[in-house]
Amino acid sequence: MTTRTTTAPAPTVDALITSVLAGEHGPLPSALVATSVFWIHHGTRLAGGDTTYLNQYVLVRLGGSFGGCAFEPGEIDPAVCRDASGAPLDVLLREAPRPLRIAALDAYLAEQHPHRDAAAEPIALPVGTPEVRARARDAAIAGLLDIGAGARVGLIGVVDPLVAAIRERGGVPLPCDFNLRATRWGDPVTTDMHEVLERADAVVATGMTLGNGSFDTVLDRCRTRGIPLVVYAQSGSAVARAFLGSGVTALSAEPFPFSQFSADPTTLYRYRAVAQP
């Protein structure tokens, strides 16, 4: 696969927060209040697998929108619900733990430009079991990849249905995750993100990279190497959208409530960066 390198500096999440605080994306956050902050901890084991996925999310409601971000165990305590609910949004953006800052930023950007009103492709996930819905979701994510047979696809954040969906498109997954050691098929999962970013012909990264601070590194390396970066985001879906065309080539945005919390139809939104002339 031919790559196109770029030496222009990559944008950063902190720079985006600074611009939001300055009122460059809408009303000043100091004039807004996080109506509700809540914390979710859940586990999932899909049929046929032997991995229990444990996920924690912190969520912020602002007006008619929700923002969310996953976090690692111990990063945030449930007491955040009491301490941060009703806080001025600028205080959360400046002073909160990073996952809560991302959730607040996500809520702000989603409130200014809701996914349902954006120039995105809505994908309805079907009624069904967690397995049915996860396969549909991950097929939609993999459908954003424009790759040839045998292309190496770095997967930063691993779920087995997405590994399978990448293979079905002819790609060779290079799985990377801090919390898994192997896929259900026995593929080794590395914890070395940098090694994967150097070998990959394309990268698919979870929105959780926004919460753990690795997103800027992923974005910069993909821009420098000139390789596609697809983000699949429950965490920070509106935040990741802000980087479309600035390193992110495509996005699967899944705002709260996330697909795993319902058996009824829900919608994710697929974005593709506009090609530059």
pTM for the model: 0.92
- The whole-angstrom separation of Cα 244 and Cα 229 is 10
Q: How far is it, in rounded angstroms, from Cα 38 to Cα 129?
A: 26
pLDDT per residue rounded down to tens, the chain (277 residues): 444 444 456 699 999 999 999 999 999 999 999 999 999 998 888 777 777 778 899 999 999 999 999 998 889 999 999 999 999 999 999 999 999 999 999 999 999 999 999 999 999 999 999 889 989 999 999 999 999 999 999 999 998 889 999 999 999 999 999 888 898 889 999 999 999 999 999 999 999 999 999 999 999 999 999 999 999 999 999 999 999 999 999 999 999 989 888 899 999 999 999 754 3
Question: Cβ contacts of residue 124 below 8 Å, gap of 6+?
Answer: 265, 266, 267
Structure-derived torsion over alpha carbons of residues 151, 176, 52, 164, reported in degrees to the nearest 10 = 0
